[in-house]
Amino acid sequence: MILNSDFEICQVDCEAFEFIDTTCFHRYSNPYLCTDGYNVPNGVDVNDLGIPLFNWVLPDGSNFQDIDLGYQVGTKARVNFSLDSGTTGITEVEVGGKIIALAIWNIDINTTVSDLINLINANSESSRWQAFQLPSASADEFTIESLDYGVINNNLQITFNTVVGDMVFGFTSDLTAGANGFTDRYCFGMAEISGVDCLEYEIPTGIHKVTYRIIDDSGVEISRKTKYVLVDYSIRNAIKEWILLTTQENCSCSDKIDERVAELRMMHEKIKVQFDCKMFDCAQKTIQKTVKYMNNICLDC
């Protein structure tokens, strides 16, 4: 069971991050696009995951372990079925009143189920539903799952309308369920990281070290990914504010500000180059110099 988890984190303002789970989702209509992500056959089913945890090291070295940010890996609505009996016929498969495929009898139950799964997946881009067999399923059982996040896809009626023939489908529920309301994106702030409930706790400028840990429903860690995150919002914002100062009609020192903006931009570019080259310690030192430069400059025009 291999899970190659991945993520991105970006700063959306001075007090908030956005986490993006970029771990791929297996698509049965094109299985080769994702072979080591979520819902790969005989792999990790997102419906069997627990609460993911994070380890977070701030630029000053403060270390927070086993953080629950309140995020869960997004699950999607699904429903399980079986083809219980039949010898011939055609049956329309509907989800929420929309036909997603035709079940056409072919040789025997197992072959008919396999054909139906392939038909559903062939239409998945337009219907937004895919089909597959869980590892525990027998040959006559299959699952239909939404391609999209959202509880809006829960409680949709599943209907098998017999056009002709005698096929009988069975299910424990004729309503879709399972979408938990989370997606692959989640916003949070320093309060969730540090446990300190302070609405004005700004995100520290600098290099953050973040580890994303996938936990199964029994509490066992099954995958982790560590990344360094450059938080430079305050520097980018300072450059913007300094430039705006030069547009003021009563500003008599625009040339001086231009020089300082150019110097700040150069320092910022140096930080980004060091970060991209994985020179994280050097980047952090340059950030500290840059913040000190920003704090010590007087821009009173």
Q: Which of 45-49, 112-116, 246-250 has the lowest mean pLDDT?
A: 246-250
CATH code, 46: 2.60.40
SS3 for 236? helix
Q: Is residue 241 part of a domain?
A: yes
Cα-to-chain-centroid distance, residue 176? 22
Looking at the structure, tell me whether residues 226 and 240 fall in a common domain.
Answer: no
CA distance 222 to 215: 6
CATH code, 107: 3.30.70
* pLDDT band of 294, cuts 50, 70, 90: confident
Residue 215 has pLDDT above 70, yes or no: yes
Indicate the burial class of 6 (C-beta count within 10 angstroms; 0-12, 13-18, 19 or more): middle
Looking at the structure, tell me whether residues 223 and 237 fall in a common domain.
Answer: no
Which of residues 209, 231, 253 is at a domain's end? Answer: 231
Looking at the structure, tell me whether residues 58 and 207 fall in a common domain.
Answer: yes
Q: In total, how many domains does the chain have?
A: 3
Looking at the structure, tell me whether residues 100 and 148 fall in a common domain.
Answer: yes
Q: Is residue 176 part of a domain?
A: no
Q: Is residue 62 part of a domain?
A: yes
The range of the structural domain enclosing residue 137 comes to 78-170
Looking at the structure, tell me whether residues 41 and 91 fall in a common domain.
Answer: no
Q: What would the pLDDT profile of 67-110 be if each residue is shown by its tens digit? A: 999 999 999 999 999 999 999 999 999 999 999 999 999 999 99
Q: What would the pLDDT profile of 227-242 be if each residue is shown by its tens digit? A: 999 999 999 988 888 8
Q: At what angle do helices 233-245 and 280-296 cross, to 10 degrees?
A: 40
Indicate the burial class of 93 (C-beta count within 10 angstroms; 0-12, 13-18, 19 or more): buried
Q: Is residue 2 part of a domain?
A: no
pLDDT score, position 245: 74
* pLDDT band of 9, cuts 50, 70, 90: very high
